[in-house]
Amino acid sequence: MFNATFQCPDLTTFCRLDGLGLEVTGQYLRPDRAVLACRVTDPDQWCRKCGCQGVPRDTVTRQLGHEPFGWRPTTLLVSIRRDRCTGCGHVWRQDMSKAAEPRAKLSRRGLRWALEGIVCQHLTVARIAEGLGVTWNTANKAVLAEARRVLIEEPNRFDGVRVIGVDEHVWRHTRRGDKYVCESRIGWSGTGWREWFWLLIRGVTRSTCGPSISTMPSL
């Protein structure tokens, strides 16, 4: 039996956007996609060059793939205010680094969902891309970049490693005709999910090749 204290329904917290410094201002629901209009909650009104206060200039929007809820992708459409400094005229955008890396196409929650999906649930990159509502290349690039960021400079990544193994999948890539996509993973035993990130860095490769040719990344 639940002993929880119920609160008013709140889309921002339900979608875990409060931790990203975002607040939902609107929703657009389609059978195949949910789009949430958001704004950045943290004020960012002081000039980074001279320290004077800025005045609102305009807004720009940025689209981010977010973690899906159910089978429907959730996309964030974030309105970002641009301010102009009253002292030096410098123009800047609201800082939204809590929500996503600069120029990233996925929110931090979306990226975490992708990594956990691949590492813990053994989802394919194609399934991750479908869940996030982004292209295969976008999903793959984001996951590899994050894995590289998290682990490539981790000096102790092979601590406790006893066995290194290879798991490989080949399937027909129907959108591009009669070609095959090879995805190879290299992992090792006795390690946790952080170590599996490392296998993603060196192991997940993508190439179009004949059915008899496999991709074997080197350690």
Instruction: Report the alpha-carbon distance of residue 185 to residue 143 in Å, rounded.
Output: 14
Nearer to Zn ion, 50 or 164 (CB): 50
Nearer to Zn ion, 54 or 117 (CB): 54
Contact 50, 91 (CB under 8 A): no
Please pick, from the candidates 10, 14, 50, 60, the single residue that binds Zn ion as defined by CB under 5 A. Answer: 50
Contact 215, 182 (CB under 8 A): yes
212 phi and psi angles, rounded to 5 deg: -95, -5
Q: Which residues pair with 159 in a beta bridge?
A: none
Please pick, from the candidates 36, 47, 139, 199, the single residue that binds Zn ion as defined by CB under 5 A. Answer: 47
Nearer to Zn ion, 92 or 196 (CB): 92
> Of 105, 123, 101, 100, whose CA–CA distance to 169 is shortest?
123
Please pick, from the candidates 29, 60, 88, 166, the single residue that binds Zn ion as defined by CB under 5 A. Answer: 88
Instruction: Report the alpha-carbon distance of residue 40 to residue 11 in Å, rounded.
Output: 15
Please pick, from the candidates 17, 76, 85, 147, the single residue that binds Zn ion as defined by CB under 5 A. Answer: 85
Q: Is 49 in the site for Zn ion (CB under 5 A)?
A: yes
Nearer to Zn ion, 54 or 68 (CB): 54
Give the binding range for Zn ion (CB under 5 A) out of 24-32, 35-43, 45-53, 176-184: 45-53
Please pick, from the candidates 43, 87, 190, 211, the single residue that binds Zn ion as defined by CB under 5 A. Answer: 87
Ordered alpha helix ranges (H), the chain = 11-14, 108-119, 125-132, 136-151, 193-203
Contact 120, 132 (CB under 8 A): no
6 phi and psi angles, rounded to 5 deg: -80, 145
Give the binding range for Zn ion (CB under 5 A) out of 88-96, 117-125, 174-182, 188-196: 88-96
Q: Is 92 in the site for Zn ion (CB under 5 A)?
A: no
Q: Is 90 in the site for Zn ion (CB under 5 A)?
A: yes
Among positions 114-153, residues that touch Zn ion (CB under 5 A) are: none
Question: What's the token pair of residue 163?
Answer: 């066995």
Which residues form the interface with Zn ion (CB under 5 A)?
47, 49-50, 52, 85, 87-88, 90
